[in-house]
């Protein structure tokens, strides 16, 4: 399934659009019968230039409107991301301005074609064409800020990852190096897909798995759920909270050996923060690296955490299927 913004094409600035349309219009070679008087030829040519320029501008503007999905209809996960990146209200205002401009250009073209049909000499036809161009440029100038916003928005939105928000999704959390991506690889049927996420420089990893209850997604989001939330800026926090629209369950992975580089206390703090911020999403507590973990380390984690956990070794592929089974049973209950 594609993400809703994947087909947005790049947006020209007001200036670029004017240059593009007028340059093309001046090249447009309309076929005019040979034996018509010179003045009629010139007038036809001017009409053709106005029509062509307007058509090119209007098409470009309408394309922006057509390619943008209806923001009310897209999945809340993507709507939330669009809101963080650009602002849904702002996007709508910009699209409204583009719609206005495209209608104005259409109307103006009709008026000028009519006026040109009545032009009485070459200089009047030339003046009318120049006037029409001037007015088209001025309409575009009036929406230049909005076009600029849409141009920047397109660059960001087109890069959002393609996840299927309708598919049951498990998000994997825990500090860096605890074994999240090793786990995702182990439980995915094929090689996990890698996608960019505009809120972090790291790539997110999306695995899929066929189960007896249907296909599910397992997502590792490096850079999001692997650092204390108190260290996050507003945008990162919102990007984390957007996961609530996607995740049906979270698997939180602890590394009791601390070979990941983070003390158990920090890991438990992160767990508590995530649990508090994403309240409604059930969390499965999992301890990884069972192959090298010592009894005392497990005991210490139990004391600090004060909750039960499952144990696995993602590297040795032991206990992994049980973790997935338990998480699936929660997904199905929900």
Contact between residue 270 and residue 227 where contact means Cβ atoms under 8 Å apart: yes
Whole-number Å distance between alpha carbons of 90 and 237 = 21
Residue 244 CB, nearest approach to ligand GDP (Å): 21
Pick 57 or 172: Cβ nearer ligand GDP? 172
Candidate list 13, 28, 99, 177; residue touching ligand GDP; CB under 6 A? 177
Single out the residue of 6, 181, 238, 266 in contact with ligand GDP (rule: CB under 6 A). Answer: 181
Compare residues 180 and 227 and give the one whose CB is closer to ligand GDP. 180
In whole angstroms, the minimum distance from the beta carbon of 233 to ligand GDP comes to 22
User: Which of residues 4 and 179 has its CB atom nearest to ligand GDP in the complex?
Assistant: 179
Residue 59 or 291 having the CB closest to ligand GDP:
291
| Segment lying near ligand GDP (by CB under 6 A), choices 38-46, 136-144, 177-185, 325-333 | 177-185
Which residue stretch of 8-16, 108-116, 189-197, 287-295 sits at the interface with ligand GDP (rule: CB under 6 A)? 287-295
Reading the block at residue 53, the tokens are 């320029």
* Distances in whole angstroms, Cα of residue 88 to Cα of each of 10, 212, 332: 19, 38, 33
Q: Does 277 bind ligand GDP (CB under 6 A)?
A: no
Count of Cβ atoms closer than 10 Å to residue 20 Cβ: 15
If one asks whether residue 178 binds ligand GDP (CB under 6 A), the answer comes out as yes
| Cβ distance to ligand GDP smaller for residue 94 or 225 | 225
Q: How far is the CB of 78 from ligand GDP (least distance, A)?
A: 25
Residue number with CB closer to ligand GDP (181 or 200) = 181
User: What are the residues facing 318 on neighbouring strands?
Assistant: 313
Q: Which residue is nearest to ligand GDP (CB)?
A: 179
Binds ligand GDP (CB under 6 A): choice among 88, 95, 158, 292: 292
Which span sits near ligand GDP by CB under 6 A: 108-116, 148-156, 176-184, 231-239?
Answer: 176-184
Interface stretch with ligand GDP, choices 101-109, 179-187, 209-217, 261-269 (CB under 6 A): 179-187
Q: Does the footprint of ligand GDP cover residue 315 (CB under 6 A)?
A: yes
Interface positions with ligand GDP (CB under 6 A): 176-182, 288-289, 291-292, 313-315
């Amino acid at each position: 399934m594609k993400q809703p913004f994947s087909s947005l094409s790049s947006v020209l600035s007001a200036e670029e659009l004017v240059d593009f349309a007028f340059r093309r219009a001046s090249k447009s070679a309309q076929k005019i019968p040979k034996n018509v008087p010179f003045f009629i030829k010139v007038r036809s040519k001017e009409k053709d230039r106005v029509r062509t320029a307007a058509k090119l501008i209007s098409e470009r503007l309408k394309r922006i409107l057509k390619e943008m999905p209806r923001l009310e209809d897209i999945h809340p996960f993507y709507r939330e991301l669009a809101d963080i990146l650009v602002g849904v209200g702002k996007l709508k205002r910009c699209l409204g301005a583009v719609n206005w401009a495209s209608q104005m250009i259409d109307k103006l073209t009709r008026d000028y074609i009519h006026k040109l049909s009545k032009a009485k000499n070459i200089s009047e036809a030339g003046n009318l064409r120049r006037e029409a161009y001037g007015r088209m440029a001025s309409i575009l100038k009036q929406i230049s800020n909005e076009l600029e916003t849409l141009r920047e928005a397109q660059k960001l939105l087109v890069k959002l990852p393609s996840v299927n928000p309708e598919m049951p999704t498990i998000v994997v959390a825990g500090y860096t190096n605890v074994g999240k991506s090793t786990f995702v690889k182990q439980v995915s049927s094929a090689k996990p897909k890698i996608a960019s996420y505009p809120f972090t420089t790291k790539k997110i990893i999306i695995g899929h798995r066929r189960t007896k209850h249907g296909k599910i997604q397992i997502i590792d989001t490096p850079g999001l759920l692997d650092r204390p939330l108190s260290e996050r800026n507003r945008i990162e926090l919102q990007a984390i909270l957007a996961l609530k629209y996607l995740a049906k369950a979270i698997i939180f992975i602890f590394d009791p050996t601390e070979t990941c580089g983070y003390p158990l206390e920090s890991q438990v703090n992160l767990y508590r923060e995530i649990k508090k911020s994403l309240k409604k999403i059930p969390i499965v507590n999992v301890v990884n690296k069972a192959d090298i973990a010592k009894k005392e380390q497990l005991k210490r984690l139990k004391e600090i955490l004060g909750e039960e956990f499952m144990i696995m070794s993602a590297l040795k592929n032991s206990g992994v299927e049980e973790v997935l089974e338990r998480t699936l049973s929660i997904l199905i209950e929900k």
